[in-house]
Amino acid sequence: MFSVLLSNKAEKQLRWLDSSMRSKISELFKVLEETPVPAAQYDLKKIRGEQDTYRIRLSSFRVLYCVFWDEKVVRIAKLERRSETTYS
């Protein structure tokens, strides 16, 4: 069982989302607690050049996160609407 932690930026971004998107993201967090790399359930890609960093697409939003396998922690870095600057 993994712990899901949000960065300060991700917490702020989560507050501004509408309730339907917030419920989808909270469902994703529950899945990440069980399976930190749920490739079968979500559109997931590993970020090239980064170690244990992934992104999941949820409609027009992207969730960027890192997995710390030794500590059993999933750290959510960003929750962003897809745009030209999402990954920079």
| Pick among 3.40.50.2300, 3.30.2310.20, 1.10.150.530, 3.50.50.60: CATH of 3-81 | 3.30.2310.20
| Predicted local confidence at residue 83, as pLDDT | 67
| Predicted local confidence at residue 65, as pLDDT | 96
| Predicted local confidence at residue 88, as pLDDT | 57
Over the stretch 30-55, which tens digit does the pLDDT of each residue have?
Answer: 999 999 999 899 999 999 999 999 99
| Predicted local confidence at residue 52, as pLDDT | 93
For the chain, domain boundaries: 3-81
Average pLDDT over residues 7-34: 92
Distance in angstroms (rounded) separating the CA atoms of residues 35 and 10:
20
Average pLDDT over residues 60-74: 94
